[in-house]
């Protein structure tokens, strides 16, 4: 079975929007990592990238074209996301409900997968066991 890597929404949005700064890094990283790993997203990433599309069929087609699959967030990951959110609030975080990053990081942590992201700071703070593939 091929090892899997979770892909953060910011990396996919770089491709979708042709971000002038990050498109090269994101596209090269996905291409390189996709050669030896199965790339996947979860529902939180799906929701975040869906804002760039008019129809659900367009989102699904873009993911299929990129060879990116979908995985369910387990109850274990959801529980961990909630616990990390409590730590965030106690540290002065102002958001009223768990951020998508908590669900993404918790899934990578509980599934023991790597995570491709450009937003390494929050993941390093709340999910230190997750191996990140991020810009230097």
Please write the tens of the pLDDT for every residue from 72-93.
999 999 999 999 999 999 999 8
Say yes or no to pLDDT of 2 above 90: no
Where residue 66 sits, what CATH number does that domain have? Answer: 3.40.50.1010
Say yes or no to pLDDT of 41 above 90: yes
Q: What is the DSSP letter of 97?
A: S
pLDDT band at 46 (very low <50, low <70, confident <90, very high): very high
Domain count, the chain: 1
d(Cα 63, Cα 81) in Å, to the nearest integer?
A: 25
d(Cα 120, Cα 134) in Å, to the nearest integer?
A: 7
Q: What is the pTM of this model?
A: 0.94
pLDDT, residue 1, reads 67
Q: Which residues contact 119 (CB under 8 A, 6 or more apart)?
A: 8, 10, 101, 134
pLDDT, residue 99, reads 87
Mean pLDDT of the 115-134 span: 96
Provide the total of helices (H) and of strands (E) in the chain, helices listed first: 7, 5
Nearest Cα residue to 103 out of 16, 29, 8, 10: 8
State which residues form the domain around 35. 4-133
Q: How far is CA 77 from CA 14, 97, 127, in A?
A: 26, 16, 11
Say yes or no to pLDDT of 52 above 90: yes
């Amino acid at each position: 079975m091929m090892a899997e890597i979770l892909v953060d929404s910011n990396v996919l949005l770089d491709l979708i929007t042709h971000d002038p700064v990050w498109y090269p890094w994101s596209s090269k990283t996905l291409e390189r990592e996709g050669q030896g790993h199965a790339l996947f997203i979860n529902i939180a990433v799906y929701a975040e990238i869906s804002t760039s599309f008019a129809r659900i069929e367009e989102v699904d087609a873009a993911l299929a074209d990129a060879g990116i699959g979908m995985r369910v967030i387990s109850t274990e990951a959801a529980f961990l996301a909630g616990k990390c959110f409590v730590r965030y609030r106690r540290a002065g975080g102002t958001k009223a409900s768990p951020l998508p990053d908590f669900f993404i990081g918790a899934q990578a942590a509980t599934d023991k997968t790597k995570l491709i992201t450009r937003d390494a700071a929050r993941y390093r703070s709340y999910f230190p066991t997750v191996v990140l593939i991020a810009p230097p």
